[in-house]
Structure 1
Amino acid sequence: MPTLNKIRSALAGATGHRGRPPAASPRPDLRRFRITLTVFFALDGFLFAGWVVRIPAVKAQTGASSSALGLALLGVSAGAVATMMLTGRLCSRLGSQPVVLTCGLLLPLSVALPPLTRSALALGLVLLVFGAAYGGMSVALNSAAVDLIAALRRPVMPGFHAAFSLGGMLGAGLGGLVAGRLSPTRHLLLLAAAGLLLALLFARPLLRFPLEPARRERDGAEASGGTARAPGRARWLVAVLGLIALCTAYGEGALADWSALHLADDLGAGAGSAAAGYSVFAAAMTLGRLSGTTLVERLGPDRVLIAGGALGCCGMLLGSLAPSVWLALAGFVLTGLGLANVFPIAIGRAGDLAGPGGVAAASTFGYGGILVGPVAIGFLADWFSLPTALLTVAVLAAFASLTAWATRRAVLPHG
């Protein structure tokens, strides 16, 4: 019996497990914890989007030039990257839930700081704090999600990222509605109060459910034979998964910053149609993530990764080279559907292999993509053209697909 239990535990620990588990349904406490974690994912996206839509107002308030604002905005990514590995170690030592709650309280507090600044330097400094809380929240949430997935024995990571996307869409929509009525200070202070209240309301169900990441990691070591080479091999596989995540995040960052400009300047779109570029991409990503668990269960994570990267490549080829606005928008939709589940699967599997440290490492790679993508597109657009620069999104999506195919047996052994 002990041997059988170990085998079952090892099989359950992989997010790549295909097919529905033999268990009839999750326990009520698992369902409650899943709802709680979903709320925190949505809160993460909601607060971040609330800040993003007020960037123009904060820019005007600080009197920052475009270049100064760009440097200040790097504080978000810099703060996130600097904090992620530390957060992974804290999750390993203290457990994911206390870190989720701590970041869930710090993030609303930090989102209220940017509109209080009056210079680009001060803005950059407070965005370091905001980025640190945001990056810590991301790692802690994904680490907790990996542990819950092991308990549920279902690959539900895409659903959590869909909640983040839905929270972001809600935050952006609400921000657009109140932008003409509330100053950025009042708006973000209200968001901070709402975020704190929500985090406190769900603090008890978050902390009551026992997750044991150390046990999962020991089971993974036993399943791999417990050899001395296993940790080094796990680090290599986490790096591969992080590279795949980077390719997806590069595309997200590039389309967030450059899709509207491509539609307006290269294809002559009006203001409304140009603004729809990122909207349709984000909506497609949300839809893809909502269906992600079903896709992974039916097809396996390896096929979803490979096909997703390939579809993202084809979609971005169409989006970059299309001669009309509507064809370009169709390309953005295909890109969003293709890339939707690549990041969640990569992060989830990194957590399977190396626990919170794996989540932190792969997330750091991903944020590197978000950081590098818009900047690289800008330089390439100056040297060549914006459509040519956007083709790098297609190239990296194809690279992610080929990498997933080449390493599918090692990275996703249950696919």
Structure 2
Amino acid sequence: METTIIQTNIGKNARIATNALFFLCGISFASWASRIPDMKELLQLSDAALGTVLFAMPIGSLTALPIAGVIIHKFGSKRITFLAVLVYFIALPLLGLSTSPVTLAISLFIFGFGSDLLNIAMNVQAVGVEKIQKRSIMSSFHAVFSIGFMLGAALGGVIAKQGISTFHHLVAIGSIDLLIGIASFSYLLQHDHKSDENQPLFAIPDKSLIILGVICFCGMLCEGAMADWSVLYYKQIMDNPNGFATAGFTAFSVLMVVGRIFGDRILQNFGLRKTLLINCLLVFVGMTIAILIGNPVAVVIGFGITGLGLSTIVPLIYSEAGHSKTMAAGVALAAISTLGIAGFLIGPVMIGYLSEFLSLKIALSSLIFLGLLGAFLTTKISNQ
């Protein structure tokens, strides 16, 4: 009985600490994103030059992914989360200090590297908390990330309007990150979840994990496309081009948070396969409404439904990968994340090229088919 109480307290404390890390990750990324226009103006970058420089961050992320799985397996996610927070503490001020495209690209590479170390490590911690509490709570962690992201974006806009420099803004965020990291460290789980003590570090993913990875790829591709192109599409079909052009993306973002808040309860009621099927069908329905009806109200409704559909795809797949019986949790999550980030990077580029040669409306129609593809793939995984 006493052991059970101790385990329960450990689980509660670890959940709070892990939530703090998800919040930290969201607010940090959004804080940087809110200052991109200021850095563009400061460095006098063209759109093309800015796009090239910004690509350094995902390169840093992809560089970290194969390393993250190995070092988390060897040293534990608890230590690696704190290492990642230290990288944030260093990288954020460096972003604000950048005086040339080269120094900005180097800083973004470091920031991207730290972001994915933190991403994998904190998700491994989340899997461990799920194991202790014996229920799925991964979606709630990602909801906290989304809340942190929305808060960071809102505060970033306010701070920028007050004339506070990018450097001072990001120094403050980096300092808050470090304080959160220090406060959370002692409450994180000491040992990561392992399904099997003889689990190999390197192994071929099983069929279900591969399918989940492809679904994650489709979901993140949709997220990337919506993040970069939804505002432009909404503006194109508005009667008043000077109106609230972000209404569609706002609906998308808010309903994504709502979906993540209730995602764990839905999973408990329907199981993994049915929940993912619902997610993918919602993406299909939402984008169909937004594209085929094509008036501002329909687009807001459609984008909102799409956000609801995409909300729990990544959290549920991360949770399932973390409980893999064929691969170590950190390695499995790194493999899934690699596919997910690849989709997130490919999405905006794919939409851009299709829009250039066809139209933005036709380009975004591809997300309808991705929703159907995801729904089809969910029928191929084991029901649970």
What TM-score results when the alignment is normalised by the length of structure 2? 0.93
2:174 is aligned with 1:154: no
CA distance in 1, matches of 2:16, 2:362: 43
Residues 78, 185 of structure 2: 8 Å contact kept: no
The corresponding residue for 2:36 is 55
Q: Structure 1 stretches (4+) deviating beyond 6 angstroms?
A: 23-26
- Contact kept, 8 Å, 1:260 with 1:278, in 2: the verdict is yes
Aligned match of 2:180 in 187, 195, 198? Answer: 198
Q: Who is 1:278 aligned against?
A: 249
Task: Sort the Cα spacing of 1:24 and 1:198 in 2 relative to 1 into closer, same or farther, 3 A.
Answer: closer
Q: CA deviation at 1:109?
A: 2.3
1:62-93 Cα offsets, whole Å, 9 max, x none, are: 11111011011111111101101111111111
Asked whether the 8 Å contact 1:148–1:211 carries over to 2, the reply is no
Q: State yes or no: 1:314 paired with 2:314.
A: no
Q: Which amino acid aligns with 2:93?
A: A
Structural mapping, 1:178-327, within 5 Å: 178-181=159-162, 182-206=164-188, 209-213=189-193, 215-218=194-197, 231-232=203-204, 234-327=205-298
The separation in 1 between residues aligned to 2:95 and 2:286, in whole angstroms, is 36
Residues in 1 aligned to 2:258 and 2:6: alpha-carbon distance in whole angstroms: 24
For 2:155, the aligned partner's letter is: L
Q: Deviations over 1:351-379 (max 9, x none)?
A: 21121100000011111111111111111
**Paired residue secondary structure (2:45):** coil
CA distance in 2, matches of 1:125, 1:109: 12
1:401 pairs with one of 353, 366, 375: 375
5+ residue gaps, structure 2, are: none
Alignment equivalent of 1:135, drawn from 112, 116, 121: 116
Partner residue of 1:13? none
Question: 2:23 touches 2:144 (CA, 8 Å); kept in 1?
Answer: yes
The 5 Å alignment of 1:163-182 reads: 163-181=144-162, 182=164
Aligned residue among 36, 61, 67 for 1:80? 61
- The answer (yes or no) to whether the contact 1:263–1:269 under 8 Å persists in 2 is no
Cα distance in 2, alignment partners of residues 200 and 138 from structure 1: 17
Structure 2 Cα separation of the partners of residues 145 and 287 of structure 1: 19
**Corresponding residue to 1:363 among 337, 340, 348:** 337
Amino acid in the other structure paired with 1:377: I
For 1:223-253, what per-residue CA distance to the aligned partner results, in whole angstroms no more than 9, with x for missing partners?
A: xxxxx9x953x34433321211111111111
SS at match of 2:368: helix
Quote the RMSD (CA, aligned, Å).
2.0
Instruction: Quickly say closer, same or farther: Cα 1:235–1:75, change in 2 above 3 A.
Output: farther
Aligned residue number for residue 6 of structure 1: none
CA 271–201 in structure 1, closer or farther in 2 if over 3 Å, else same: farther
Q: How many residues align?
A: 376
Instruction: Give deviations 1:306-344, integer Å, cap 9, x for gaps.
Output: 111011111012122333111101001100111111111
Q: Give the whole-Å Cα distance in 2 for the aligned partners of 1:25 and 1:292.
A: 28
Which letter maps to 2:315?
Answer: P
Letter in 1 for 2:190: P
* Partner in structure 2 of residue 70 of structure 1: 51
What do the CA deviations read for 1:179-200 (whole angstroms, capped 9, x no partner)? 1111212211111111112211
Is contact 2:237–2:295 with CA below 8 Å preserved after alignment?
Answer: no
In 1, Cα distance between the equivalents of 2:7 and 2:240? Answer: 49
Q: Deviations over 1:373-398 (max 9, x none)?
A: 11111111011110111111221122
- Asked if the contact 2:124/2:192 (under 8 Å) is kept, the reply is no
Give, in whole Å, the separation in 1 of the partners of 2:348 and 2:242. 21
Determine what percentage of the aligned residue pairs are the same residue: 29
Structure 1 residue 104 corresponds to structure 2 residue 85: yes
1:95 is matched with which residue?
A: 76
Cα distance in 2 between the residues matched to 1:345 and 1:316? 22
Report the TM-score when normalising by structure 1: 0.86
CA displacement, residues 275-325 of structure 1 (integer Å, 9 cap, x when unaligned): 222221111111000001100111111111011101111101212233311
CA distance in 2: counterparts of 1:24 and 1:398, whole angstroms: 45
Moved more, 317-326 or 91-100: 317-326
User: What runs of 5+ residues in structure 1 fail to find an aligned partner?
Assistant: 1-22, 222-227
